[in-house]
Structure formats: C-alpha cells, structure tokens
Amino acid sequence: MSARLAYIFPGQGSQYAGMGRDLADNFPAARAVFEEADEALGFKLSELCFSGTAEELQLTENTQPAILTVSVAALRAMEAEGLRAPDFVAGHSLGEYSALVAAGALTLSDAVRTVRARGRYMQEAAPVGSGAMAAILGAELADIMNACGEAQQGEVCSPANINSPGQVVIAGDATAVERAMELLKERGAKRTIKLNVSAPFHCALMMPAQERLAADLEQLEFQELRVPLVTNVDAEANTDGAAARDALVRQVSAPVRWRESIEFLIQEGVALFVEVGPGKVLSGLLRQLTRDARSLNVEDTESLNATREALS
C-alpha cells in the first residue's frame, strides 16, 4: 500500500505580496477561484493578492480571505492537473477553512465571506495594543503553561499555537504576556519573540469574536466532508458537517493543537504532506516534528510541477 497523503493549508503569517498571480496566469481553474472570491466579497481581492502592498495584506480582514483564496486556487489547479487526492486534510487556524472547502463541506463563496468577517471580529475583540502574542522557542509545554498561569495575575495569558516540540506561541493581555516571557527567559527558554500581530488570537480575549462568528456560521450550510479533516481544536479526524462547524466556533478562543494534529496523521499512516497555499511555514514545522514524513508544497506553477513529479 502506498503511503497515505495529507493536504495541509497555511494560516495567517504565510501571506506575501504577489501571491497567487502565477497560478491565475497559468491555470484557468485557479483564475476562476479569484473571480469567484472577488464576486463574493464585492471588491477585487485578486488585485490585493497580485499587486497589493505587504502592509495592506497584513490587515487581518484582508489577510484571512487572501490566504484562503490563494490556497483554494492552488488546490483547484492541482485538481485540474490530476494530482492525487488526499486521504486527510488539515489547516492551521484560518487554514481549517481552506481544508473544509477542499473537503467539500463549505463553498468558496461562503468561506471567503466568513473569514473576512472573522478577521474583523478578531481585530475588534481586543483594543489595538491591549493584547499580545509571543513565540516561545526551546521550552517544554508544561513549563510554558506554568509560566502563563503565574503571569496571569487576573489577566489572560495562555498557549495559543502548540506548533512543534520547540515552538509554542502564547497570547493574552500584553502585560501578562510580557510577564510570562520574562519568567520563561529566567527559566531557560532558548528565545522569546514578541510577534507583530494585530490581535491576541486563540485565547479567552477572543470570546466576543467567537460569539459573533458562531452566529454567522449558524447561517451557513455545512455538507458532510468527502475527506476526513483533522481539526485544530480536537486534533482528531472528523467527517461530520455539524461537528466541523462546532470546531470552527471553538477554535477562535482555543489553542491550535498543530503538533498533536500532525502526530495524529502520522499515526494514521500519513507519510506524505503537501502544503497547499502560500509559503512553507507548515513544511518547516513538519521538519521539527518528524524526519520520517516527506513534505511538498504547491503555491505556483514550478512547485505544482515538482509536486506532481514527486507524487507520481
């Protein structure tokens, strides 16, 4: 039996100016994705991706639909070229929406409108500057959790992205995150890096955003999934549309359990991963998690051709 294959979809932070242009120029199926997204949003998201500035792309309500659209454009190009279909899908935070489009649970139009609103809700949930996120490198998860607990002092501070054994991102009130960073430095963390983000994602400060998003998601039709999705919030496979919707709601204020999600996929026999969408952030994390799985990516014609060759 050939090794099982997972498509994984990137989240915020993978964006770059000019992303998706090569796909739209070379694959009609990809171009159609950008046209559908432009129509769904009522403005030229395609132009933002192809020729917008890095600053424009960094605004959360732009970033989220832009990354989703480029990821789905890459996916449609792969499908049009007859690349092997995945046995599982997963996505990092925002990327879970791309994965749900790939699995046939959500339409692109519904997904792109929802993530634009999601970006706005998350931005508005905490006043600018009141929250923070920091990457903690080279510390044990238990030590990070202890430091976050000590640093809270009535505020919010908790793990937000559990990415790999050596990389955990924390989020919460800015002062509490600073306290946690100091504690972790004192206790031997290799590095603590304050992240340039517009809001403290995946922590309790996002509850107002979660409530607003829940109401939007309730209005959408979720189909049963054609391919099992490993959700961020449970790190388990799911094919039920209603459960996928519930996972998206809980995901807003809960940590992204990426390390456990990848470990689950490896246990299920996945030895090939294709990162579908802009950048190679997830491929880098995969290398930190395992040396036994192979990582490929598709974000333009060149990478698509290389991945096609590798999969055949």
| pLDDT mean by block of 10 residues, the chain; 312 residues | 89 93 98 98 96 88 95 98 97 97 97 95 90 95 96 97 94 97 96 90 96 97 97 97 97 97 96 96 93 94 96 88
Question: Catalytic residue at 93?
Answer: yes
pTM: predicted TM-score of the whole model, two decimal places: 0.95
Phi/psi for 140 (5° steps) reads -75, 145
The secondary structure element, H or E, covering residue 8 is strand 4-9
Q: What is the pLDDT of residue 149?
A: 97
Q: Are 9 and 71 in contact (CB under 8 A)?
A: yes
Whole-Å CA distances, 153 to 150, 180, 262: 7, 11, 33
Report angle CA 213, 154, 215 to the nearest 5 degrees: 10
**125: its two tokens:** 């949930």
The b-or-e profile of 108-132 (16+ CB within 10 A means b, else e) is: bebbbbbbbbbbbbbbebbeeeebb
Q: Domains along the chain?
A: 4-125+205-311 (3.40.366.10), 131-197 (3.30.70.250)
Q: Which of the following is catalytic: 71, 93, 164, 261?
A: 93
Q: How much is the pLDDT for 58?
A: 85
**62, β-bridge pairs:** none
Strand pairing of 131-137 and 237-238?
A: unpaired
- pLDDT, position 36: 98
The DSSP result for 44-74, as a single string, is -HHHHHHH--HHHHHSHHHHHHHHHHHHHHH
Verify whether residue 98 is a known catalytic residue. no
Distance CA 22, CA 19 (A): 8
154 φψ region: left (φ > 0), alpha (ψ -120 to 50), beta (else): left
Provide CB contacts within 8 A for 235, sequence distance 6+. Answer: 257, 260, 261, 263, 264
Task: Find the catalytic residue in 71, 198, 202, 253.
Answer: 202
Instruction: Specify the pLDDT at position 55.
Output: 87
